[in-house]
Chain A
């Protein structure tokens, strides 16, 4: 392979992993929540909440680490709201998730003006962009490595621990969980809180890992792409991670192709990841089965 070709591949791999990272986090959040029986349409809002809060706290303290932690916290709080609505109030999960998205996305835009007195985007803050491991020509962000660690951890928790077994049982038949003397609503609530925390971490990566500010609309439907990744990955941590990388690849491809293929304009290329997601969810006819009690209030 020519040198330029190798460079191109390295760039594509690096970019794929960067673009995949926030989707991996959100998709893992989607997996745990749906395995417990709660469809998390609010992932998008939780990502935005995490991204925004991370920037605020990094700006206030000067520490991107605290920013990332705050992003996780913000996601968890939104997860709690959705979980509370879905369990205690037995609200339709799709409706509640839609509400969460409006509140979080609108709230971030609102707070941008309140805090910084500038609409659209925050000022630049200290970012975590330099936490990069160089693997030959490929750059690997520390939070990307952490994303894979989270996938591994989630896999271990779901399939090897008592708590994971109970969560999976909860997504299939919460009554059986109740009859075993456990608390299905509590299990679901925790699962959705963790889901929100993961989505918040994904958001924090968007704002502090990739760039160093929050701007309106920066989540750009990634929460929903993550939901597609959950389905594409058949509700398993590794499957969802793989699907997130698949979507990350198409997002990266769009950047790599820009300027290289003259006849395909940049605006049209922006549609590539979304079209890939459409094909992915359409290509799974009859092959997937959601958790039996997914989306059904208990």
Chain B
């Protein structure tokens, strides 16, 4: 039991255990886990292209995961990163399609659009919570569906490019594309922006008065309220910033990867990012590591499907299992010091 406790004591243990469970699932499905995992890792880390693609996925997950971490640290369960990312991307895509400026200015403006768009979407939930005490889990999730409807409507109607066959905006002028980090891949400097954002967030959490109050609000709301934290304002700010970071992610996807907006922008990054944030313990730097791990899963999942005939959706099962195992290992780790009745 002691050894088990030690092995399961860290996130690594949780991930190992989840992979073990996934291997069992593969066996049941009649696939050799060895083939499955080999395909997964070759597909994600087997070459320059593969690594670049893994980092593209890492970037896409990292922004919403950082936003979610911020909200969760404030005690607010923002399940709506998906919608916030979508609205951020929509804002960047809608304006970017009709906006011409020289490179640094254009990129800055479009990223700001994403930040503001996502922030606006998060602020709706923040306002509903601060003003009406509306449960943010439900409101952020409902807003995901509203965002999807809104985006579907706009790209198939008012914003639809006359040149494109599908429902999407016109492409962005090349001047507003994010520069590539590795040539001939899809990896842009969005990754750098995301990592910088993680360091900034860490600095905010640990050094600033705002971060101090945010953490107090999350860990001990009543103590925070009684000690000078304006809780409605904190709720609004935290959900707004959380959405803004996710929205920034949407904008980097538009300016860095797709170069236009359509609703296939995210295959559920905003949901997977919840797992990323939790695995990263809501700590921005660990969230970066977790995002890389999940990036491997996302990028390798496609390879697994092609090479080993394991459906890509298995990845979501692994992610769910990681969350469950991780949550349970906290219990295993803390059980020894359980408080007396």
Q: Do chains A and B touch in the complex (CB under 8 A)?
A: yes
Number of A-B pairs, beta carbon distance below 8 Å: 153
**Contact partner, A102, options B149, B153, B311, B320, Cβ 8 Å:** B320
Interface segment among B94-102, B134-142, B192-200: the answer is B134-142
Residue of A nearest to B271 (CB): A102
Q: Is A131 an interface residue (CB 8 A)?
A: no
Q: Are B146 and A274 in contact (CB under 8 A)?
A: yes
Q: How far is the CA of A286 from the CA of B79 in the complex (A)?
A: 23
Q: Are A114 and B29 in contact (CB under 8 A)?
A: yes
Q: Given that A99-B324, A224-B142, A267-B153 are contacting pairs, would A106 and B137 also be in contact in the complex, using a CB cutoff of 8 Å?
A: no
Q: Are B142 and A228 in contact (CB under 8 A)?
A: yes
Q: How far is the CA of A110 from the CA of B22 in the complex (A)?
A: 12
Q: Are B324 and A278 in contact (CB under 8 A)?
A: no
Q: How far is the CA of A261 from the CA of B311 in the complex (A)?
A: 41
**Contact partner, A228, options B138, B157, B324, Cβ 8 Å:** B138
Q: Is A85 an interface residue (CB 8 A)?
A: yes
Q: Is B319 an interface residue (CB 8 A)?
A: yes
Query: What string of 1s and 0s marks CB contacts (under 8 Å) between B123-148 and chain A?
Result: 00000100111110111011111100
Query: What string of 1s and 0s marks CB contacts (under 8 Å) between A261-290 and chain B?
Result: 000010111110011011001111110000
Q: Is B156 an interface residue (CB 8 A)?
A: yes
A21-46 at interface with B (beta carbon < 8 Å): 41
Q: Is A199 an interface residue (CB 8 A)?
A: no
Q: How far is the CA of A286 from the CA of B29 in the complex (A)?
A: 51
B147-190 at interface with A (beta carbon < 8 Å): 149-150, 152-153, 156-157
Q: How far is the CA of A227 from the CA of B133 in the complex (A)?
A: 15
Q: Given that A109-B313, A119-B311 are contacting pairs, would A270 and B149 also be in contact in the complex, using a CB cutoff of 8 Å?
A: yes
Q: Main SS of chain B's interface residues?
A: helix
What chain A residues lie within 8 Å of B143 (beta carbons)? 274, 278
Q: How far is the CA of A274 from the CA of B25 in the complex (A)?
A: 35
What chain B residues lie within 8 Å of A224 (beta carbons)? 137-138, 141-142
Q: Is A89 an interface residue (CB 8 A)?
A: yes
Interface size grouping (class) on chain A: 35 or more
Q: Are B29 and A281 in contact (CB under 8 A)?
A: no
What chain A residues lie within 8 Å of B311 (beta carbons)? 109-110, 112-114, 119
What chain B residues lie within 8 Å of A112 (beta carbons)? 311, 313
Residue of B nearest to A271 (CB): B149
Q: Main SS of chain A's interface residues?
A: helix
Q: Is B223 an interface residue (CB 8 A)?
A: no
Give the number of chain B interface residues (Cβ < 8 Å): 47
**Contact partner, A92, options B137, B156, B327, Cβ 8 Å:** B327
**Contact partner, B138, options A103, A119, A227, Cβ 8 Å:** A227
**Contact partner, B132, options A94, A105, A275, A283, Cβ 8 Å:** A283
What chain A residues lie within 8 Å of B317 (beta carbons)? 102-103, 106-107, 110
Q: Is A90 an interface residue (CB 8 A)?
A: yes
Shortest beta-carbon distance from A31 to chain B in Å: 15
Q: Is A91 an interface residue (CB 8 A)?
A: yes
Q: Given that A224-B142, A282-B139 are contacting pairs, would A94 and B153 also be in contact in the complex, using a CB cutoff of 8 Å?
A: no
Residue of A nearest to B30 (CB): A114
Q: Is A96 an interface residue (CB 8 A)?
A: yes
What chain B residues lie within 8 Å of A227 (beta carbons)? 135, 137-138
Residue of A nearest to B31 (CB): A114
Q: Given that A85-B327, A106-B317, A107-B317 are contacting pairs, would A268 and B142 also be in contact in the complex, using a CB cutoff of 8 Å?
A: no
Q: How far is the CA of A284 from the CA of B331 in the complex (A)?
A: 35
Q: How far is the CA of A146 from the CA of B57 in the complex (A)?
A: 46
Shortest beta-carbon distance from A61 to chain B in Å: 21
Q: How far is the CA of A90 from the CA of B157 in the complex (A)?
A: 49
Shortest beta-carbon distance from B18 to chain A in Å: 10
Q: Is B328 an interface residue (CB 8 A)?
A: yes
Q: Is A220 an interface residue (CB 8 A)?
A: yes
Shortest beta-carbon distance from A162 to chain B in Å: 25
Q: Are B275 and A110 in contact (CB under 8 A)?
A: no
Q: How far is the CA of A282 from the CA of B131 in the complex (A)?
A: 8
Query: What string of 1s and 0s marks CB contacts (under 8 Å) between A175-186 and chain B?
Result: 000000000000
Chain A residues in contact with chain B, CB under 8 A?
A: 41, 81, 85, 89-92, 94-96, 98-107, 109-110, 112-114, 119, 220-221, 224-225, 227-228, 231, 265, 267-271, 274-275, 277-278, 281-286
Q: List 11 A-B contacts (CB under 8 A).
A: A104-B320, A106-B316, A106-B320, A110-B313, A110-B316, A112-B313, A114-B29, A114-B311, A224-B141, A227-B135, A271-B145
Q: A102-B316, A112-B311 are in contact. List 17 more A-B contacts (CB 8 A).
A: A85-B324, A85-B327, A91-B328, A91-B330, A95-B327, A96-B327, A98-B79, A98-B278, A106-B315, A106-B319, A106-B320, A228-B135, A265-B157, A278-B134, A278-B139, A282-B131, A282-B134
